[in-house]
Amino acid sequence: MILVVLEHDGTRLRKGALEAITRARGLNAIAGSVAGVLIGENLSAVAEEARKYVNALYIAEVGPYTAEKWAAAAYAAQQKAGAQVVVASGSRQGRSWTPRLAFKMGAALLEDTLETSTDGSKVIATRYSFLNRVTEKQAAALPVVITAKPNTTPLAEPLGTEGSVEALSVELPAQKVEVLERVVEQKKGVSLSEATVVVTGGRGLGSPEAFAKVEELADLLGGAVGATRAVVDAGWRPYSEQVGQTGKVVQPGVYIALGVSGAVQHQAGMNKSKYIVAVNKDAEAPIFKIADYGVVGDVHQVLPALIEAAKKL
Ligand code: FAD
């Protein structure tokens, strides 16, 4: 068995879970069947969806998220399944608990991988290095914990059968950190990490008010709003929208950068987008070096024209 830890939002599997399942299925030289584990609370609704993708599903009702609890639950599932390979999403959450799991298993950790393959005894993984400018290959003997870089892997389809479901009893470690309160951000529209279109505004927009038009364009295209660090640091937009080395890494089909210079730290979060469109009044701005389409012009003139064009789609 290969085990996939299935990330979810409480009601549905996240895209990262479906990517992780695809990766697990690709390692069938190690094991032909894939088990999944759902960790969290009130999991019955998402379990109905999850069992369509795996041969066996474990349910670990452990309450609200902490990295210690997730690692303990994933470890219990790994032991139960006898899995030599565990795959998870390389989301922010995945990156926080997978090192603990690898330590418990005495396993190698292949993090943020783009591709994985196997000869049956070891896993070979490709990942980016140096701000996405270099790819490197790593190999690790079993047992292995793998995280799949978000938005790099095709989404799994259901199997056409429903896997068995089993409640898992988890021995939870003494909690070193207690969660006192959890405030869920009220988001409208699609999630930035999962959006197929991202419209990002930079300092060139000149004011927080100018983002109303960025939002309008994103809405019209069914996309999400992104921001540069300059804009976030200025308090114009929330940190949750920051794209880049110290923000989110996105890989949409279309990335529209408006008044964004394209600093290397920003590029680290978006330079693998399929098509990059840039609007900047400075023809020498670095963003044009990676843009597929570019307009040299004032964003206050070009953005309303883009909105009008999007309304006609
Ligand atoms: P600027 O660099 O000021 O660019 C504004 C652009 O708008 C310019 O190119 C200008 O020509 C153009 N412009 C101005 N007016 C108009 C107009 N009217 N019409 C059209 N164009 C116009 N940055 C990130 O974004 N994400 C990160 O995660 C991140 N992490 C960092 C980590 C570290 C350790 C460090 C040191 C920096 C990091 N940065 C990050 C900051 C990064 O170096 C840049 O400072 C930042 O990306 C610049 O944001 P910007 O493009 O909005 O602003």
Query: Which residue among 245, 250, 277, 284 is best mutated to probe the pocket of ligand 1, counting the most ligand atoms within 8 A of its Cβ?
Result: 245
Atom 31, ligand 1: residue with shortest CA distance:
265
Alpha helices in the chain (DSSP H): 15-26, 44-50, 67-81, 92-105, 211-220, 229-233, 264-267, 287-290, 299-311
Query: Does the beta carbon of 30 lie inside 6 Å of ligand 1?
Result: no
* Distance of CA 162 from the midpoint of ligand 1 (Å): 48
Residue 287 alpha carbon, nearest atom of ligand 1 = 9
Please state the pTM of the whole predicted model.
0.75
Q: How do beta strands 224-227 and 85-89 pair?
A: unpaired
Q: What is the ipTM of this complex?
A: 0.99
Query: Which residue among 193, 207, 239, 266 is best mutated to probe the pocket of ligand 1, counting the most ligand atoms within 8 A of its Cβ?
Result: 266
CB 62 within 8 A of CB 72: yes
| Residue-level pLDDT, tens digit, the chain, 313 residues | 999 999 999 999 999 999 999 999 999 999 889 999 999 999 999 999 999 999 999 999 999 899 999 999 999 999 999 999 999 999 989 999 999 999 999 999 999 999 999 999 999 999 988 877 788 999 999 999 999 998 889 999 999 999 999 999 999 988 888 888 888 777 667 889 889 999 999 999 999 999 999 999 999 999 999 999 999 999 999 999 999 999 998 989 999 999 999 999 999 999 989 999 999 999 999 999 999 999 999 999 999 999 999 999 8
Q: Is 8 annotated as a binding residue?
A: no
Q: Is 151 annotated as a binding residue?
A: no
CB 39 within 8 A of CB 33: no
